[in-house]
Amino acid sequence: MSTSGINTQPYSHTLLAETSQPSAPADRTQLPAVNADTPPGNVSSVTTFVSSLARQLSGAAAQAEARDASLTLGQKRNLVDKAQDMLLGASYNANKAAYDKELPASDDPDALDLAKRATQYTNGSGKNPFSGLSRDKLAVIAYDESGTFTANERRAAMYEAYDQEYAWRKQVVAEAQAEYNSTGKMTHFFQSVLEHYQSLPALEQSQYPNDYAQGLKNLIDQDFNYKTHQAEGKANYSTIINDVLAFRNK
């Protein structure tokens, strides 16, 4: 059995099946832990903050939807690569001073405050203002090119997506190990990975091979038992997990 058709992952850091924390962007380890706390302040200020962010997301999401609909698969992959290089690569450090001064194209005080808090977070102070947002909304922010969100806001959104992805992977790997130990199979694991892939934003899905979903469906349909057919399968549970969660080779 081969899983070579599904070797992919949308992030630029190494993340294998082990449950240890993966390597991260150069200064990622200096950032505080992310949590799902609401923005600081009383109920009124929180409501105002949420409404302001919702307005920003609404406009940016409409532009993102129109943009993505016009892009080929290759163009989507290039857009993600460009954003990751800008926000996580060497070019970010080269332009960090300018990014730290950047403000959104808005006179909304809540939008301006959000940008300032994102900068504080990316400099190691405070909490991620986008903690708890859905992957779709995080993608809208991270890959925004309209000026609605600053580079540091986009970077904070990308970090939150990374943290959510890592948390999901840690959980699904544990479930896969339990499934394998109890049944010799990994069918539920493959199903979980497929459902997760299908739930990702289009730009993140573009980082996987064209046949990624079909490869998972084939494995699900096989319902293979890797204990009773170990000699024929020529793979143990950790090898299969690594294949399914491996990075796309560029």
pLDDT tens for 150-208 read: 999 999 999 999 999 999 999 999 999 999 999 999 999 999 999 999 999 999 999 99
Q: Which is nearest to 226 in space by CA: 194, 186, 195?
A: 186
Average pLDDT, integer, range 43-54: 60
Burial class (CB in 10 A: 0-12, 13-18, 19+), 216: buried
**pLDDT tens digits along 93-142:** 999 999 999 998 788 899 999 999 999 999 999 999 999 999 999 999 99
For the full predicted model, state whether its pTM sits above 0.85.
no
What percentage of the chain has pLDDT greater than the value 90? 53
Confidence at residue 135, expressed as pLDDT on a 0 to 100 scale: 96
Token duo for residue 134 = 């859905």
Number of residues that make up the chain: 250
- 176, burial (CB in 10 Å: exposed 0-12, middle 13-18, buried 19+): buried
